[in-house]
A = this chain, B = another copy of it.
Amino acid sequence: MSLYQTIKEALADLTFSSDTPGKLPSERQLQQQFNSTRVTVREALMRLEAEGVIYRQNRIGWFLCPKRLLWDPIQKVNFYQLAKNQGLKAKTELLTCKQTRASNEICQAFTLDKQSDFYEIYRIRYLDDRPVMVEEIYCPVQQFPGLTEKALDSSITTIFQDDYQVKVSHEQSDIIVTALPDNKAEQLNLNGGAACLKIIRKRFNEQQELVDYNIEYWLHSAIEMRVQSN
């Protein structure tokens, strides 16, 4: 068996008895401990990261992954409720909210022309204070005047419903595995290139009109999906 495999298994077995709980020893410490080089140690670490056992914070170190959030893409349960049901603390941070002209792709999805204005909302979501998701939300200004004034660090669905009487009745999600883009990784204080789940979600009102175009990047080790079909 290769050396990095050995290191990987040894690390997986470790109780990671470091100063900070959940934090792994530094790469140079591991290199000495296993009498190897940083390249090889990092190979082992990156495998464990790919498996979803550990994750890294940019220039800080490697950490053990907590358990994944279980999510059913069919159920329209909001993030806070979902987290609470699973004993996790949810938090949302609003990064930016501005009025823009959106990309062609998004205009087309809304069947609006390129002159239309959209709100563009960037948010980060945390579970137990760990950043796990970054999202972009687009919705037409016309339909949601004054949206910037609302409490955008809460549930958008609730705002739609309570403040605008818009009820989401149908949604479609496209889900792929890809690498976290560098600009998104930066917002999460993580490294680009790590596996992530990219979810493009379109939500429609009762008249089947698109009201909300949402792009989410989930840290792959933070989420698990469960779906039922009858």
A interface with B by C-beta (< 8 Å):
5, 39, 46-47, 50-52, 68, 73-76, 169-179, 182, 192-195, 197, 220-221, 223-230
Contact = CB atoms under 8 A, between A and B. Distances in A.
6 nearest CB pairs, A to B: A50-B179, A177-B220, A175-B225, A51-B179, A74-B229, A195-B195
A178 B225 contact: no
A192 B75 CA distance: 34
Given A39-B39, A195-B195, A47 B229 contact: no
A74 B174 contact: no
Contact of A227 (B73, B194, B221): B73
Give the oligomeric copy count.
2
Q: Which of A74, A76, A225 has the most CB of B within 10 A?
A: A225
A42 to B, nearest CB: 11
Contacts of A177: 52, 177, 195, 197, 220-221
Given A39-B39, A74-B74, A195-B220, A178 B229 contact: no
Contact of A228 (B170, B175, B220, B228): B170
Nearest to A47: B193
Contacts of A230: 169-170
A226 B195 contact: no
Nearest to A1: B182
A35 to B, nearest CB: 21
B224 A178 contact: no
Given A193-B47, A195-B50, A195-B195, A76 B229 contact: yes
Contacts of A224: 174-176
Given A74-B74, A76-B229, 17 more contacts: A39-B39, A47-B179, A50-B193, A52-B176, A52-B178, A52-B179, A73-B229, A74-B229, A169-B230, A171-B229, A172-B226, A175-B227, A177-B177, A177-B220, A195-B195, A195-B220, A227-B227
Contacts of A170: 228-230
A191 to B, nearest CB: 11
